[in-house]
Chains A and B, each alone.
Chain A
Amino acid sequence: MALRTPLYDRHIAAGARMVEFGGFDMPLQYSTIREEHVAVRTRCGIFDLSHMGEVRFTGDLALDVVQRLVTNDVARLEVGGALYGVMCHEAGGIVDDVVVYREAGGYMVVINAACRPKDVAWMRDHSDGCDFEDVGDAIALLAVQGPRAVGLISGMCPDDAAALRPFHCMESVVAGVRATVSRTGYTGEDGFELYVDAADASGLWDALIEAGGPEGLIPCGLGARDTLRLEAGLRLYGQDMDDDTDPFSCALGWTVKLQKGDFIGSEALARLDPAHPPRRFVGIELEGRAIARHGQRVLAAGEPAGEVTSGTYSFTLDHSIATASLDGDVPADAELSVDIRGTVAAATVVPLPFYRRPKGA
């Protein structure tokens, strides 16, 4: 039986269509994916992300341990700072992509629900001399995303949420609930992620919906989360990368800080040429409205050249978009197409992200 987040009853009461994801029964959509997507791009949406895992590292060696686990340079984080990175195997493949928060007493690492058992075992095996705790069940995570998110949370929080910089967090209170308020997200919009005690999740959810409703806030499910993150050019573990993908091959080379010293996978990654990795990760726009989907074949001049990693119809741009993993030797100017269930659709490489929110919005 699938696990439930502390907000499961709220999702059922709201009439959500539920789907199993990462071992949890999660809301796929409450209204329609399009409606929820548009709400986040133009107003505000609230997401239950309590399925995500959280792991805490504390003690004198916490920095050394996390620094060895993650490719990015954790040492540069001040308390209240966060960064995105990946954990690699010795051979350079990606165990998971993570967000690391520096807390007063150590580090909190946020991991994907579907990877949780694997990640926790991996971390435990590589956390000698450091106190390590899987706190995923005790923590609920709510995300409030969209151009009206800052106004909404500012009005519900005694501290200056609007002054919080991107990829920073603060210990505060939202609607009377103690929360780690983080200026992060997975939608391409401004907004917050709120880490709270599992027991406080329902009360905070209700308060956010009550306060945000008049501002156009609606609950959003995993369907919209996926279309939003793809427009924003953000990767999804298990689709865009996996245990056999090195970070350069999925355009995450910027998270690899070889100069920081040895970490797990650093030897293997140092042998790769960041400019010419084994595979090339690109964004493509497709001709027509058919959706390219994970695993479909990409062709260069009609010959097999790679695979689609993620694809969707972009509600913001009104055309079909995808990311693809191309063989390393495919020329940059190759004429690409995608075999969509037997029909070949022409594809054009475009810079990522597909969508960038307007400045000042």
Chain B
Amino acid sequence: MADLSNYRFTASHEWVRVEGSTATVGISDHAQAQLGDVIFLELPAVGTAVTAGTKFGAIESVKAASDLYAPVSGTVAEVNAALTERPELVNSDPYGEGWMLRVDGASAEGSDLLDEAGYTKLVGA
């Protein structure tokens, strides 16, 4: 089990880990398990501004397509290029290699984030 003490979660199942002014964003283990085999990710280009609580992309599994919502506001500094060829990393390592974005100048203002305990309670795990 990953140490998630530095992770914060949205009610829409994204996570964010803030280090200094950079935030890393992905989706939770619960979300990947619900989606099943991830096939495709639609992610913003580097330099795009994202806003907490609004859509930044989409994720598709065989079963469903879902929108992705930014847990923080800021500017996309890096996109996980490995996911283009290997979107299944979101399934196998959602909190590590399956990360999606790094956001600079991250601010969680306007975002209602949960800690691990709060999120676990939300998803009833």
Contacts and interface: CB of A to CB of B under 8 A. Distances in A.
A289 B36 contact: no
A118 B62 CA distance: 29
Interface of A is mostly: mixed
B60 A290 contact: yes
B62 A291 contact: yes
A291 B60 contact: yes
A32 B42 contact: no
B7 interface: no
B4 to A, nearest CB: 23
A33 B40 contact: no
A33 B87 contact: no
Nearest to B33: A17
Interface string A286-314: 00111101000000000000000000110
B65 A288 contact: no
Contact of B37 (A33, A320, A343): A33
Nearest to A224: B62
B66 to A, nearest CB: 10
Contact of A291 (B36, B40, B91): B40
A32 B39 CA distance: 13
Interface residues of A, number: 17
Contact of B36 (A33, A290, A293, A343): A33
A343 B42 CA distance: 10
A312 B63 CA distance: 8
A322 to B, nearest CB: 13
A341 interface: yes
Interface in A127-169: none
A291 B40 CA distance: 8
B58 interface: yes
A34 B37 contact: yes
Interface string A228-268: 00000000000000000000000000000000000000000
A343 B87 CA distance: 19
Contacts of B40: 288-291, 313, 320
A343 B65 CA distance: 13
A29 interface: yes
Interface in A317-361: 320, 341, 343
Nearest to B84: A289
Interface in B49-86: 58, 60, 62-63, 65
B63 A289 contact: no
A227 B87 CA distance: 18
Contacts of A313: 37, 39-40, 62
A33 B58 CA distance: 20
Interface in A271-293: 288-291, 293
A33 B63 contact: yes
Contacts of A29: 36
Given A29-B36, A289-B87, A320-B40, 16 more contacts: A33-B37, A33-B62, A33-B63, A227-B62, A289-B39, A289-B40, A289-B60, A290-B42, A290-B65, A291-B39, A291-B62, A313-B40, A313-B62, A320-B39, A341-B58, A341-B65
Interface of A: 28-29, 32-34, 223, 227, 288-291, 293, 312-313, 320, 341, 343
Interface of B: 36-37, 39-40, 42, 58, 60, 62-63, 65, 87, 91
The 3 closest A-B pairs by CB, nearest first: A289-B40, A313-B39, A34-B37
